[in-house]
Amino acid sequence: MTTDPWWASETFWRKTAIWVTAGSFVVLVFLTFDSMSQITAGTRRVPAYSAINHRIEYRFDEQRHVQTPVIGAEEPLFGKKLTEQEAEALVEKGKLTIQAKNCMSCHTLLGNGAYYAPDLTKAWLDPFWGSREVREELMVAFIKDPSDKLHNGLGRRMPRLGVTDEEAHAIVAFLKWMSTIDTNGFPYNFKPLDQEG
């Protein structure tokens, strides 16, 4: 009678399957907690929503060789300082509007979306908005009605999407907050609006 080698036995493979599944499960649980700590607002790379009460600056990090966000002096969005809860509600409304209007069918946000139109991840910092003083109102006006606004010579026009005044304000809050996220310098080569002074 021939005996099968140990690695050919059914019990061995059954045990192996159980251990590999159990091991992968533990690793997945660990990675889920690790990811949550990297993507939750109020953590090292993703600032709290109340960051929209401040000026967002960028500094070149010599060690990492990327532009990194710095939450600067107080500079409330639309001149109104918000509590953490108010800021969260506004940013959330902006995010929901962006989803409802499907802005990602043309734009990219945080690596998701399309490349027909400019990446919006750091749109808050686009030098196109001219100066810090007029930027937020120009953004609101542009989002509500982009059709007659001259933009960056891309040769493409953004359509009117029926965004209300309130929704446009919330979108700008979301865009400002998104610009505070440390994205490892992504999108590569964005040029921040004048930050000094």
Output the smallest distance, CB 172 to ligand HEC, in A.
8
Show the site string, 50-89: x = touches ligand HEC by CB under 6 A, - = not.
----------------------------------------
Which of 126, 135, 173, 193 is close enough to bind ligand HEC by CB under 6 A?
126
Q: Please, what sign has the CA dihedral across residues 52, 124, 34, 185? A: negative
Examine residue 47 and say whether the peptide bond preceding it is cis (omega within 30 degrees of 0). no
Contact indicator for 124, 180 with CB cutoff of 8 Å: no
Contact indicator for 71, 51 with CB cutoff of 8 Å: yes
The residue whose Cβ lies closest to ligand HEC is 151
Joined together, the tokens standing for residue 27 give 């690793």
What's 30's DSSP letter? H
Output the smallest distance, CB 152 to ligand HEC, in A.
5
- Contact positions with ligand HEC (CB under 6 A) in 144-173: 151-152, 154, 156-159, 161, 163, 171
Contact indicator for 146, 158 with CB cutoff of 8 Å: yes
Give dist(CA 172, CA 187) in Å, integer: 19
Output the smallest distance, CB 145 to ligand HEC, in A.
12
- Contact positions with ligand HEC (CB under 6 A) in 105-124: 105-107, 116-118, 120, 123
For 42, half-sphere exposure in the C-beta direction (CA atoms, 13 angstrom radius) is 6
Give dist(CA 166, CA 189) in Å, integer: 32
Contact call for residue 141 and ligand HEC (CB under 6 A): no
Contact call for residue 90 and ligand HEC (CB under 6 A): no
Q: Interface with ligand HEC by CB under 6 A: which residues?
A: 98, 101, 103, 105-107, 116-118, 120, 123, 126, 128, 139, 143, 151-152, 154, 156-159, 161, 163, 171
